[in-house]
Amino acid sequence: MQRSNFSRMAMKENITGYLFILPNLIGLTVFTLFSLVFSLVISFTNWDLVGQLKNVKFVGFDNFSAIFKDEYFWVSLWNNTWFLLAIPVNILLALLFAVALNKYVFGRKSLRVIYFLPYITNMAAILVVWNMLFHPEKGPINSFLRSLGITHPPLWLLDSSWAKPNIAMFGIWTSVGFFTMIYLAAIQNINKELYESADIDGASSRGKFVHITFPLISPTSFFILILSLIGSFQQWSNIQIMTEGGPGKSTYVLGFYIYKKGFSYYEMGYASGVAWILFLIIVGIMLVQWRMQKKWVHY
C-alpha cells in the first residue's frame, strides 16, 4: 500500500513536471522537430518552395547524387574548410587579450567594452563601416598602405585572392571580443593559490601559463572551439552582404549555397539535401572533437 502511494505520488510529480514544460515541448515539437522532419522529407523531393505540395514528386536520392556531382557544392565545402583556418587565430587572439586584460592594463574596463562592441553591434551597420575601411580606392587602409610605398594595395573584396582573408578578418574582429570575455571569466575563476604555489616553486610566467592556466581553461577552449566550428560552417549572411559568393566562387560557402538554391533558384528540395549533408558534416566533426577532448581537456 505504501509502495503504491509512493508510486502514485512520484507519477503525479512527474506529470506535474511535464505539464510545466509542456508549452516549451509543444513549441519544440512544432517549430524544431517538425521542421527538421519536414526538411528531411523534402530533401527527397523536387519541391520548388512556391509550388503546391500536391504537385511535388518524390525523387529518391537524385538530389543527393546531384549534390555530390555539383561543382558548387565542392567549392563551397572547400571554402568552408578554408575558413576553419581562422579559428585557431581567433582563439589565440582571444586568449592573449584575456590574459592581458586579466593583468594590470591601463583602462582595461574600457578595453573590455571596446573589444565586445563589434559582437553586439548590428552587422549591417558594421559592414557599411568595414566596406568603407577597405574601399580599394578611398578607404583608409589602402591609403595607409600606399603611404608605406605599396603602389598596388589589395582590392580586398573585389579580389578573389583577398576576399576570403578579408571576410575571415571580419569574422575574427566581430567575435574575438565575445571569446575574450569568456576566456577572461574562465581565467578569473582559477584558484589564485595555484599561482602562489607556482611562484613559491619558482615557476616562470610561461611555465604558469602552460601548466596552470591553459589546462584549467581547456573546457572553455573546447567550448569556444565547438562554437567557432559550428559558426564557421553556418556562416552565410555576412557572405551575402559582402560578396554574394564572389568574386568568382572564392567566397561561396555551404550556408550561402543553401540559401541561394532554396530561395533564389527555387530548388528547395535540393537545398534541403545540402542542408542535411552540412548537418552530417558538422555532427561528424563534433564527434571527432568530442572523442579527442579526452586527450587535452581537463575537467
Tell me which of 267, 273, 275, 276 binds another protein, using CB under 8 A.
Answer: 267
The percent helix, strand, coil of the chain (3-state, each to 5) is 75, 0, 25
DSSP letter at 45 equals B
# residues contacting another protein (CB under 8 A): 43
Residue 49 in the binding site for another protein (CB under 8 A): yes
Contact call for residues 100 and 122 (beta carbons, < 8 A):
no
Return the residue of 40, 41, 48, 82 that touches another protein, per CB under 8 A: 48
* CB 142, min distance to another protein, A: 12
Stretch that binds another protein, among 86-94, 102-110, 248-256, 290-298 (CB under 8 A): 248-256
Q: Judge contact between 225 and 88, C-beta under 8 A.
A: no
Stretch that binds another protein, among 52-60, 115-123, 197-205, 289-297 (CB under 8 A): 52-60
Q: Which residues of 18-28 are buried (b: 16+ CB within 10 A; e: fewer)?
A: eeeeeeeeeee
Residues in CB range of 60: below 8 A, 6 or more apart: 44
Select the residue interacting with another protein from 2, 52, 122, 147 (CB under 8 A): 52
Residue 286 as a binder of another protein (CB under 8 A): the answer is no
d(CA 294, CA 299): 10
Residue 7 makes contact with another protein by CB under 8 A: yes
Tell me the residue type at 258.
I
Site for another protein, rule CB under 8 A: 7, 10-11, 14-15, 18, 22, 25-26, 29-30, 34, 48-53, 55, 71, 128, 131-132, 135-137, 155, 158-160, 244-249, 252, 260, 263-267
